[in-house]
Structure 1
Amino acid sequence: MSDCCGCGKIVDVAALQAKQRRVLRIVLAINLATFVMMAAAAWWSHSSSLLSGSLDNLGDALTYAISLAVVGASMQAKARVALLKGLLILCAAIAVAVQIGWRLTHPAVPLFEGMGIAGALNLAANGVCLWLLNPFRNGDVNMASAWECSRNDIFEGVAVLLAALAVWAFGAGWPDLLIAAALLVMFLRSALRVLRSAWREMRVQG
């Protein structure tokens, strides 16, 4: 009787891991596609907030790829990977800061049409990703950190749309830089949360 219960648990774990891998593959593909789209739109529109979003999508794609690699691994390994994810988010924040600094010395008014279209497409894609990852938000540190990245993407998508609207309304480039700066703060806070969670898990497992 106990053997049957043990087999049931093994089957449940295997099914959960298979579901995690399937979801991570889908969100990885979505983020790679949105990165290419957002990067092209950022170049065409001269938008710092779009570039911030594209870098975030690239970082997320790397995060999901790493998460996929450690599904089924030990909690210690997942905690170390979560630490790497936090560092990737931090690198994205640094890249955004550099972009903002460059744009301050090379001011330009972004094309709000490109920002709006790319932002809307990106927000829709991010919504799908968050919906797919939502069942795992309270799971292990690996999937929880992946959900954290996806939640950030929703805020980022809404922020880019607001930036496009403000650029159109004011006919100036400062709203784009303001939103990019807000995204920078969000990335820094998210990186800190993920790094703290990973470090806490590593200490527990160690």
Structure 2
Amino acid sequence: MGDSCCSGTVDIRAMEARQRRVLMIVLAINIATFVMMLSAAIYSGSSSLLSGSLDNLGDALTYLLSIAVIGASTRAKAKVALLKGLLILGAAIAVAVQIGWRLAHPEVPIFEAIGLAALLNLAFNGICLWLLTPYRHGDVNMASAWECSRNDVFEGIAVLLAAVGVWLFEAGWPDLLIAAALLVMFLRSAWRVLRSAWRSYKTGDA
């Protein structure tokens, strides 16, 4: 009986160590891609790139919070997941403000910079999603981290489409259109994470 308990404790600790290792890798990737995307957004004048960079910053904070509550109670994880949902909602608000500013100050962004940054971002986010996919049906902490990573892949594809649109039409509206689509995605994701976290909080242990 004692050996079984010890074995179970070791298995849990090993699982938590794997989760922590994965989250630290994706945290480092998101910090790097945030800096890259923000630099490219400023250089190119792209709203969709700026949206992506804000998303990566929010995700980096999300992964940092996820690392902090590994091994914590269900309710503690739910509280952090609620905060993650609020971070996603904050990114949506920032994107909405950026879209409004670009509508008032229209310009044609540099599609080469958008495309290159989007390709790099998509490649790295694909790695993050691959690392997190085994945990997508785990506790609310890891499931919400996977949700953020999946959003990043969709975002990367969308920003690539923005670059193609700007190149084809030589106008800024495709970039704004993609930014608006990302805004909708952020709002839907925030709702899913907040709903799941609230349910987990109500049914979780103290």
Q: Tell me whether the two structures share a fold, i.e. TM-score over 0.5.
A: yes
Q: Could you tell me which residue of structure 1 aligns to residue 127 of structure 2? A: 128
Aligned to 2:153, what secondary structure does the other structure show? helix
Q: Could you tell me which residue of structure 2 aligns to residue 174 of structure 1? A: 173
Q: Could you tell me which residue of structure 2 aligns to residue 48 of structure 1? A: 47
Alpha-carbon distance, 1:4 to partner: 1.2
Q: Could you tell me which residue of structure 1 aligns to residue 148 of structure 2? A: 149
Q: Deviation string for 1:34-92 (max 9, x for gaps)?
A: 00000000000000000000000000000000000000100010000000000000000
Unaligned runs of 5+ in 1: none
Task: State the distance in 2 between where 1:60 and 1:102 align.
Answer: 24
Q: Percent identity?
A: 74
Q: Could you tell me which residue of structure 1 aligns to residue 110 of structure 2? A: 111
Q: Could you tell me which residue of structure 2 aligns to residue 58 of structure 1? A: 57
Alpha-carbon distance, 1:150 to partner: 0.1
Structure 1 residue identity aligned to 2:109: P
Aligned to 2:166, what secondary structure does the other structure show? helix
Structure 1 residue identity aligned to 2:142: M
**What is the TM-score with the length of structure 2 in the denominator?**
0.99
Q: Deviation string for 1:143-166 (max 9, x for gaps)?
A: 000000000000000000000001
Q: Could you tell me which residue of structure 2 aligns to residue 191 of structure 1? A: 190
Task: State the distance in 2 between where 1:82 and 1:132 align.
Answer: 19
Q: How many residues align?
A: 205
Q: Stretches of 4+ moved more than 2 A in 1? A: none
Aligned to 2:72, what secondary structure does the other structure show? coil
Q: Could you tell me which residue of structure 2 aligns to residue 82 of structure 1? A: 81
Structure 1 residue identity aligned to 2:36: M
Structure 1 residue identity aligned to 2:144: S
Task: State the distance in 1 between where 2:100 and 2:14 align.
Answer: 47
Unaligned runs of 5+ in 2: none
Alpha-carbon distance, 1:179 to partner: 0.1
Aligned to 2:79, what secondary structure does the other structure show? helix
**Are 1:93 and 2:92 counterparts?**
yes
